[in-house]
Structures are given as structure tokens and as C-alpha cells.
Structure 1
Amino acid sequence: MGGTGTLKAVLFDRDGTLVVDVPYNGDPQLVRPMDGALEALNRVRAAGLATGVVSNQSGVARGLLTLDQVTSVNSQVELELGPFDVWEVCPHGPEDGCGCRKPAPGMILSACRALGITPAEAALIGDIGTDVEAATAAGSRAVLVPTAVTRQEEIDAAGVVAMNLGHAVELLLAGALEEQGTPA
């Protein structure tokens, strides 16, 4: 696996990371990959690493879209950017107190179980602080790729910040996060 060390999988947030964020999107025709997403994913796959998506979809709990619509959008993401080895979706709202909704680690832990790896062998790339917090809580590495919606305090709190998705993958493949280790 080259310079990837113990890294065996890269998990990605969906909205704002892999695809342009369309709030509560239930329409597959609105899926637009982020610039460089396919190239970044191809680099991860070429390195022999598994890929996965972990996505909060509170629009289901809010009654703004159905799980079938989420599945349809995910299928379009898979068509344009896949294949992915694992998908994890949290349909709960922030007030539901579930263990899967980021910043909780549930989806990352579940994805790692599905892949047969430990959380320390995974990294999560996301665009907001809850992505980084979920990875940290799971014991995984994290890279923040800020967008226009990322708050400055989230950037300041992130251990590793990348300029874009390609840069995030470059950091991971170069083993630049090996020293970060697993958070206590």
C-alpha cells in the first residue's frame, strides 16, 4: 500500500465533500460532484484502500424527504463517483439522541465493522466540524476540507485542514497523518 501505513479505508462525508450540498436533496438530478472528487476517489482506490460514505440525512426525521429519496440520491452519487465499499446514513434529527448522527461515532464504527477494520485504520474527510468530531470520537484520522459553510472555529479546531479534496487525499496517501495517531 505504499506510504499509507496502517490506513486501510477513507470514508467521506457526502454533502459538501463529495457532492455539492443541496440542502435536504431528494432529487438525483441535482447531484453534482465537487471539483476533483472523482480524481481524488480514483487515487484512493488506486492505492488499494476501501472507500465509504457516511452521511447525516436529518431531512428524513424532519419529514422533508424519504429514505427512498435518500437512496435514490445515493445511487446517483454511486453512479457518478462509485463504486463505494460501504454506505452509512443517519436518518435521525439532532434532537433524536442517536449514536449514529455525526458528531457521534456510530456511522464510522459501523462502516469499519462492515469493512473488517479497526477505526484506527480509517480516515474521514469532511467539510464541517461534526465530521472531524465523529472521526475523533471513533478513534479515526480526520481531514477537514473547508467550504463556504465551514465556520472559522471549526477550521481552528481541526487538527488537519486541506485546501481541497485532492489535497486531503494527498495528505493521507503520503502518510502525513500517521503521526496524528488515534486521539485519546
Structure 2
Amino acid sequence: MAHQRICLVTLTTAILLASISSTSALAQQGSSTDQKNSTPDEPPVLGSAKYESNVADLSIEVNAVDRSASGGLTSLTYTIVNHGDERSDVISNLLSESEFSYPPARLAAPSLLDENEQVRYFTIMNTAEDCVCPAGAGDDGTPTRVPGGESQYVWSTFILPDNVSKVTVEFPDFPPIKDVPVS
């Protein structure tokens, strides 16, 4: 039974991630003029925030907040950019800070805020009480460190009501990224 639940969550996540590539173009067309132009090889940037520290020169670029066609299940995709020359070892610490007790080394920290209703949404958990987000320990291919001058594409999954059309994306220790459209 537990295996079936894990398979269902894995299948749902795979379908959601597959839909991201088809909806990224729609997100780019429907977003504000502040967004960075993208090429076919790089995702659009709907907003960004810079980490304020003398330890690392990092920024986060929000690429998409895509709700599934059936509603509710929503994927946040973002890029962690290391602008420095050195490898950054602080990423897993920054992105594993969360309001909830997720298993260790999970990149579960982003939250989505509906400014109109003043409701904050956190990364969802599956039936095994694990967040539907990548591991930060590298066991699923997501590195805990980003080499200098490089970036890493990351995702998290949420449940958003159908009436939410834009959100503020929040990460610990980064300024909020406001007015990100939900597509």
C-alpha cells in the first residue's frame, strides 16, 4: 500500500514536471515586462532576489508558477545562480530552513504568499510525510552546492486554490519576489 502511494506521488510529480515545459512559454507571454528575455535553452525569469551576505554571491530567479490543468497542484520552478567565483556551500542550509519538520536535506524552504488573502502556502507533503521537493543531499541529482559562475534549476510543489492568480515567492534570507503570475 505504501509503495502504491509513493508510486502515485512519483507519477503525479512526473506529470507535473512534464507540464512545466509546455506551460513555460505561456508563463513568459502572460508575465510582466520586468522579466528577463530567455533563449530556448534557458527558462524565463518572472522575478529574482539577491542573497545579501558577504559569505556568498547568490540569487534566485523564479522561472514559473504553473498550476496543473485539473487545478490545485502547482509547481514552482526556480534557478539558483552563483555569481561568485567559488563554489557555494550555503545553498542546502538556506533552502532547507522551513516552518515544518521535513526530512533532513530537503530543499523545502520556499513558500508562496497570496497577498490578497494573506495566506501562505508551504511545500506539500506526500503520504510518507516527505515534502514533494528535491533532496538537497545530491541523492536525486540536485547538488547541495553550486560551482562559481554556474546555476541550478530546482522545483517545489504546492496546492494553490484556483482563484489565486499571482503570488509572492519567499525564500529564507532572500527578499520576497512579488507579483509572480500563476499560470
TM-score using structure 1 length: 0.27
More strand by share: 2
More helix by share: 1
Give the structure with higher Rg (CA): 2
